Amino acid sequence: MNRTRWIFVIIVVVALLIVATALILRTANRPGEEAENSAVAITVDRPEALTVRVLTSLPVEPWVRNAAETFNATQPNVEGIPVSVEIIAMDGLTALGRWDRNEFGALEAGVRPEELTEAARAELADFPTVWIPESRYLVELANASYKERLGQDVFLTDGEYRARPIATSLFTWGIYQTRAEVLQTHFDEISWQTIHDAAVAKGGWPDLGGDPAWGYFKLVVPNPSKNVGGLHAMIAAAGEYFERTDIGVADVTDSAFQRWLGELMGSVTDFSSASAYTAEDFALFGYSVGDGGQLLESDLLQNMEGILTRWEDPLNLYYPRYVTWFDFPFSIWVGPETSALEKNAALDFQRFLLADAQQQAALAYGLRPANPRVPLDATGESLFVKWANRGVESVVPRADAMRNPDRDVLLALLRWFELNVAE
């Protein structure tokens, strides 16, 4: 072997000895440091506990809150981390306004939580994990606003985290039986046009064949500025007026329609003193609130007992042709403000709500299950069974479902209400 080859072999051997020595020393002298670094990473990624905060619309809040208490009692966990669900009651319009103004504190595009100061990260502690508004169109409106600002969706329509309805309820007529009988005799049917004509009868109930002591017809609908149900009532009225299932801003600003709607809404006793819980007011104050109106079916069913025990006249339900629905979508925020663990914990609660047991429990709140396996008569506690003799329909009669309004239509209706009706 010549000199050059010997030098090459020696260099290789020395290099191998250096590498081997380094590896031995690293293994022998630094195990504690590696364990410490590993522990730090686990601590950052695995919090001691998780809280799933759920903004919940008022009609389903009692059911969802009770379900959350039951869920929490099972001591749920995600990957061994304890989970608790916190319910925050909030009307859909109020929540939408807060999303639009970014009052919940969503991060700017491209900003990650780990890049924030400790104080800024602490502000995200109360960020909502889930939103359950009255209708999916509210989710779509909020998502469109954030997508324009951030360049990405924050609520999804497909995939694992997609918004999914957890129950449904529709708007229907609830009218005291004596008043309904007079209206049906005089007009043949219960409809928005019937209610309008009763509202503008110059002589009041005597002109319609009713008791003079009833005075003038008084309509009951939710206050649109406090309850998204009021907007749905006006949308349904517009559908019947125009005889179609979709309305636009041009329809809302149509002078003839505005005059007709003004006469209709003018028969409401007092919007300024009405609470967001219109059906509850109906049960508490009876005839002084109104003779009948279009309200959410679940609200009417939940307050039926109070109406029957306080007032001599029973309330009956009548289903309209042009129907508006609430579908209560369980919508998980998919932005970086909430962790993957929180999102997965939210999915667990969603599955809990959609399981047979909680869907059956929803029947006791007058809600129609989103789970197709659960019929309306699944339990003896079902309000659909309890109040079947008051006109409750298990299968909704033939109806035309109104299409969801866009933001411009909602704003136009609210503005019209503020300028012409609200006090």
- Reported as a single tens digit per residue, the pLDDT across 412-423 is 999 999 888 865
27 within some domain: no
Q: Are residues 132 and 253 in the same domain?
A: no
Name the residue with higher pLDDT: 262 or 273.
262
Q: Are residues 282 and 405 in the same domain?
A: yes
Q: Are residues 339 and 311 in the same domain?
A: no
Q: What CATH code is carried by the domain that includes residue 277?
A: 3.40.190.10
Q: Are residues 142 and 93 in the same domain?
A: yes
Tell whether the model's pLDDT for residue 36 goes beyond 50.
no
Query: In this predicted structure, what is the pLDDT of residue 33?
Result: 37
Domain count along the chain: 2
Query: In this predicted structure, what is the pLDDT of residue 42?
Result: 30
Query: In this predicted structure, what is the pLDDT of residue 39?
Result: 31
Mean pLDDT of 311-321: 89
CA distances, 65 to each of 3, 58, 91, 339 (Å): 86, 11, 15, 23
Q: Are residues 104 and 194 in the same domain?
A: no
From the list 368, 50, 327, the residue with the least C-alpha distance to 163 is: 327
The whole-angstrom separation of Cα 174 and Cα 60 is: 19
Q: Give the residues across from 52 on adjacent strands.
A: 85
Angle made by CA atoms 279, 394, 224, in degrees to the nearest 5: 30
- Indicate the pTM of the whole model: 0.84
Q: Are residues 150 and 115 in the same domain?
A: yes
Tell whether the model's pLDDT for residue 122 goes beyond 70.
yes
Query: In this predicted structure, what is the pLDDT of residue 15?
Result: 52
Q: How confident is the model at residue 404 (pLDDT cuts 50, 70, 90)?
A: confident
**Joined tokens for residue 395:** 């299968």
The fraction of the chain above a pLDDT of 70, given in percent, is 87
**Joined tokens for residue 224:** 């649109």
Q: Are residues 344 and 277 in the same domain?
A: no
pLDDT in tens, 159-190: 999 999 999 999 999 999 999 999 999 999 99
Mean pLDDT of 241-246: 94
118 within some domain: yes
Length of the chain, in residues:
423
416 within some domain: yes
Tell whether the model's pLDDT for residue 23 goes beyond 80.
no
68 within some domain: yes
142 within some domain: yes
The whole-angstrom separation of Cα 89 and Cα 62 is: 9
Q: Are residues 197 and 281 in the same domain?
A: yes
Tell whether the model's pLDDT for residue 259 goes beyond 70.
yes
231 within some domain: yes
Q: Are residues 154 and 178 in the same domain?
A: no
410 within some domain: yes
Question: What is the extent of the structural domain holding 158?
Answer: 47-162+329-369
